[in-house]
Structure 1
Amino acid sequence: MNGPHKRLELWKEAMNLCKLIYRVSKGLPEDEKFGMISQLKRAAVSVPANVAEGAARQTKKEFKQFLFIARGSLSELDTLLELSRELGFEIENYYQETVEKLNKVNALLNGLLKSIG
């Protein structure tokens, strides 16, 4: 499928962030498989998924609603990463890269929301 979302820089960067989160989650303790790991992956997947779903909608209002959901998931992801770090989980190797990617996706998301009006 060659949907409209695939042309969006936001979607591309959100996909990269999602793949990075999957790599980060491999370093978390096995006993977090159904806790932190699951939450991190769910929040990460939600960002590009909601961008894609919104881009396929008929109106700008609908698109914006899905972008707001993506922004909420991005904030959740930021919180989960910070909590993982504070709990001493081994994410330091990826932490700076992940924060930079989060900030980039957030800036693109806010820019797109602003441009839609």
Structure 2
Amino acid sequence: MKFKFESLLIWQKAMDLGDNMDKLTELFPEKEIYNLSSQIRRASDSVALNISEGSILQSGAEFRKFLGYSIRSIAEVVTCLHKAKRRNYISQKAFDGFYKDCFDLMNMTIAFRNKVK
């Protein structure tokens, strides 16, 4: 038995994003625990949370709204990644990999939102 959202590739990738950002923030300095670390973890977790919450709604318009929240959360994660890179908490290579993951997930989520009626 599964919930409908569990079969969505965007939800699965969003779950991966949350896990990856959680692991990444373990490398941040302790001074960031209540600032950037917390922010990037909350934003990345919000992506999957909004997909699952929106998927249970009866209205396609409401689901699209929650997918929009997920898209905005991905943009927030990207901004946090830029901040982490600028503060030298992550390497360029790590940044590039996470950036691509976010870029791909955002495009997939936008495409999925466009198909929801």
TM-score interval for Structure 1 and Structure 2 normalised by the shorter chain: over 0.9
* Matches of 1:107 and 1:72, distance apart in 2: 12
Match of 1:85 in 2: 85
Are 1:47 and 1:70, in contact at CA under 8 Å, matched by a contact in 2? yes
Q: Following superposition, which runs of at least 4 residues in structure 1 exceed 2 angstroms of deviation?
A: none
Match of 1:20 in 2: 20
Q: Shift of residue 96 of structure 1?
A: 2.1
* Matches of 1:53 and 1:29, distance apart in 2: 33
Match of 2:39 in 1: 39
* Matches of 1:41 and 1:47, distance apart in 2: 10
* Matches of 2:94 and 2:19, distance apart in 1: 12
The answer to whether the aligner puts 1:71 opposite 2:76 as a matched pair is no
* Matches of 1:21 and 1:48, distance apart in 2: 13
Match of 1:109 in 2: 109
Match of 1:2 in 2: 2
Per-residue deviation, residues 22-62 of structure 1 (Å, max 9, x unmatched): 11111100111000000010000000000000011111011
Q: What are the within-5 Å matches in structure 2 for residues 45-60 of structure 1? A: 45-60=45-60
Are 1:21 and 1:44, in contact at CA under 8 Å, matched by a contact in 2? yes
**Stretches of structure 1 lacking an aligned partner (at least 5 in a row):** none
| Equivalent pairs, count | 116
* Matches of 2:97 and 2:55, distance apart in 1: 27
Given residue 59 of structure 1, which amino acid in structure 2 is its aligned partner? Answer: S
